[in-house]
Amino acid sequence: MSHFQYQNDELYCEDVPVAQLVEEFGTPLYVYSKKTLLEKLNDIQTAFAEVEPVICYSVKANGNLSLLKVMNDAGSSFDVVSGGELYRVREAGGDTTRVVFAGVGKTDAEIRFALESNILMFDVESEAELDAISAIAADMGVIGPVALRLNPDVDAKTHSKTTTGKKGNKFGMDIERASELAKKVLADPHLALKGIHMHLGSPILTTDPYAQAVKKAIDVVAEYRNEGHEIDWINLGGGFGISYKHDEGLPASEYAKVIVPGVKEAKCRLALEPGRYIAGNSGILVTQVVFTKREGGKLFIIQDGGMTDLVRPAMYDSFHGVWPVKSTLDPQGNWEKEHDGCEKADVVGPVCESCDYFAKDRSLPPVERGDLLSIFSAGAYGTVMSSNYNSRPRAAEVLVDGKEYNLIRRRETWEEIIAHEKV
Ligand code: LLP
């Protein structure tokens, strides 16, 4: 269940009225529910328990140190894509020996840092990267643990900007090419092939792409074992979709139904890298209406949150539920429905770009200057993709736990925005 609920005509995060958080911390404000984070992680841990999965929470979805600590304390590991993310995991007290490291452009310094951190494995995306890991591992007198990232050529039927497992994407390598590299690893004393990695795209709202990928994984693992590798791991990446509109997300158990049998057949351990599934509906962005205006036959609700806080609508035309924090009408998570007493409006931000919007032609109750709005499903790829464009300070973040709450990132100041510049 969602821990963002309307009670007595106002929105609560767990047991705390969202408006109370705004009184203390202002807007724009990210509000996260610890209960939701833990329930979502637990969904995945339970659904895949049979194959003893290592759940590597994908730091890129939301890397706030407090969220990473919550994940770590609940038994999650981490998927990182940069030295900076690995540094975050270390600073949050995370166990780096179960970390997986993907990304097409790992630098020497990042590879060295990861080897020093004794990570579980690199998801290797090219021959050149394999050579770099081998050389650095040799120099350090260690063995580089690697998984080959395969491009399985599976269509995940998601947004073109977030599809990764189709031929022609920059990620991973063709299965045939990876076979040649596997032979090269066997002959290299500074490398050990631990498994294979695939990430199909994000968000994926059907199980079929995973079923296709697992099938391919079983064959590849058998081939590598025949050649003499001790393959332990199938890493199927992340990508599990969530409900942005109304109940379109699948429970983790549905994905497990098509993944677990294949992993068992391959006699492998399973790694997964979910980000959005855990963080997406664990967070909202709260903003305040600055003005409303009617122009060109339209109603515009102009609020203080913008594409600098949540870029997803501008970047991918993504849908996010929007609703006033105080409202006598509870849309019960059905954000597309045209409710009585509502009027269509565009919810836009203050940034000087036409793509700076959160909702277009959305049926909403009347709002006025000073009212608070909640932008839902903003916990993943929200704050991590925020920017200082238009010299806008980044939003504050609060983590709610029952009746308690803590500021886990304070609002940036104008002074901090220019702190690294010189005249
Ligand atoms: N593993 C790898 C190798 C990835 O590239 C990604 C996401 C994940 C795991 C986590 O995917 P998730 O479980 O969160 O779907 N900014 C876009 C999403 C980009 C995803 C990039 N890679 C958005 O806002 O929708």
Ligand 1 centre to CA of 7 (Å) is: 33
Q: Give all strands (DSSP E) within 244-392, no chain letters.
A: 269-272, 283-295, 298-303, 322-324, 343-348, 357-364, 372-375
What is the pLDDT at residue 166? 73
Domains and CATH numbers, the chain: 4-32+280-418 (2.40.37.10), 63-274 (3.20.20.10)
Per-residue pLDDT tens over the stretch 300-354: 999 999 999 999 999 999 999 999 999 999 888 889 888 888 999 999 999 999 9
ipTM confidence: 0.99
Residue 204 Cα: closest atom of ligand 1: 15
Amino acid letter, 271:
A
User: Can you list the residues of the chain whose pLDDT is less than 70?
Assistant: 1
Residues forming a β-bridge with 375: 285, 322
What is the pLDDT at residue 338? 85
Q: How many residues does the chain have?
A: 423
Ligand 1 centre to CA of 24 (Å) is: 32
Ligand 1 centre to CA of 203 (Å) is: 8
What is the pLDDT at residue 164? 72
> Measured from the CB, is residue 149 less than 6 Å from ligand 1?
no
The binding site for substrate consists of 276, 312, 316, 353, 381
H/E stretch holding 406: strand 404-409
Provide the whole-model pTM. Answer: 0.97
Burial class (CB in 10 A: 0-12, 13-18, 19+), 345: buried
